[in-house]
Amino acid sequence: MKLTVIEGGRKNRGSDETTRSAAPTAQDVRKEAERRINASGYDAWRVRELATGAPMPVEIRYLRMQIEYAAQAIARFVKIPTDFTSDNYWPA
């Protein structure tokens, strides 16, 4: 199994901050969560599980649950931090 470190949106950070002038929304948090889930390879593991019947690694399943939980918690903040894409807010 190969695990990778997901950088907190650093690839698009410069262009993303310049185009978004308003405060972040819950939809922005949801997009970041989806980006992290896709970067973890969850979809490929899920397809493999459905096709072969072999269970996906528990670590991948738990990582998705942790990302979902973090996204829900961040989206509930009264004021969502502008640096919500930082790895400080998300599970590693």
Residue 63 included in any domain: yes
Residue ranges making up the domain that contains 33: 23-89
Task: Report d(CA 87, CA 9) in Å as an integer.
Answer: 9
Query: How many independent structural domains does the chain possess?
Result: 1
Q: Which residues contact 70 (CB under 8 A, 6 or more apart)?
A: 33, 89, 90, 91
Residue 31 included in any domain: yes
Residue 74 included in any domain: yes
Residue 6 included in any domain: no
Residues 49-82: pLDDT tens digits? 999 999 999 999 999 999 999 999 999 999 999 9
Residue 45 included in any domain: yes
Tokens of 83: 């640096």
Residue 76 included in any domain: yes
Reported as a pLDDT band with limits 50, 70 and 90, residue 9 is low
Residue 13 included in any domain: no
- pTM higher than the cut 0.85: no
Residue 10 included in any domain: no
Residue 67 · residue 36 · CB < 8 Å: yes
**pLDDT above 90: residue 14:** no
